[in-house]
């Protein structure tokens, strides 16, 4: 399978715990995006990377959220001190070379987070 992969697919945690998600983009794609999707809504942009550089962060990304892409390949999204409001599907997408305005993004299956 050469698509975008995400792990884990499901995560249940208790409030206050830290969680980390991983995204492996399509291999030749240099841009990687993170989105959050709540039930019945469209995805909301969180952040994106070009290679290892984090170029943009949404206001939705509070200081409890951090994302990395250390070698320009896979990326991790960490949420510290989780809150019930963090419960959502976290989607990763990647896109090939080119300016952002020309991107077509390919999405992974998502990680569904439930905070109890």
Partner 1 sequence: AQTVTQSQPEMSVQEAETVTLSCTYDTSESNYYLFWYKQPPSRQMILVIRQEAYKQQNATENRFSVNFQKAAKSFSLKISDSQLGDTAMYFCASLDNDMRFGAGTRLTVKP
For partner 1, give the closer residue by CB, 33 or 65. Answer: 33
User: In angstroms, what is the minimal distance from the CB of 49 to partner 1?
Assistant: 14
Binding residues with partner 1: total (CB under 8 A): 22
Distance CA 53, CA 57 (A): 11
Mark residues 82-111: x for contact with partner 1 by CB under 8 A, - for none: ---------x--------xxxxxxxxxxx-
Phi and psi at residue 84, to the nearest 5°:
-60, -30
Q: CB-based burial of residue 53 (10 Å sphere; 0-12 exposed, 13-18 middle, 19+ buried)?
A: exposed
- Choosing from 1, 42, 53, 70, the residue that interacts with partner 1 (CB under 8 A) is 42
Point out which span in 11-19, 21-29, 33-41, 71-79 binds partner 1 (CB under 8 A): 33-41
Give just the sign of the alpha carbon dihedral 12, 10, 80, 58: negative
In whole angstroms, give the CA distance from residue 61 to residue 16: 17
| Per-position x/- string for 44-63, each x denoting binding to partner 1 as judged by CB under 8 A, each - no binding | xx----------x-------
Which tokens sit at 110? 């998502």
Could you list the residues that contact partner 1 (CB under 8 A)? 3-4, 33, 40-45, 56, 91, 100-110
């Amino acid at each position: 399978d050469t698509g975008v992969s995400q792990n884990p697919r499901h995560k249940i945690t208790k409030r206050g715990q830290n969680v980390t998600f991983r995204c492996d983009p399509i291999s030749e794609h240099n841009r990687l995006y993170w989105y959050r999707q709540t039930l019945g809504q469209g995805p909301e942009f969180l952040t994106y990377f070009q290679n290892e550089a984090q170029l943009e962060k949404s206001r939705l990304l509070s200081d409890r959220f951090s994302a990395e892409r250390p070698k320009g390949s896979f990326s991790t999204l960490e949420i510290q001190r989780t809150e019930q409001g963090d419960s959502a599907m976290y989607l990763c997408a990647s896109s090939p070379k080119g300016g952002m305005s020309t991107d077509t993004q390919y999405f992974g299956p998502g990680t569904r987070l439930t905070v109890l």
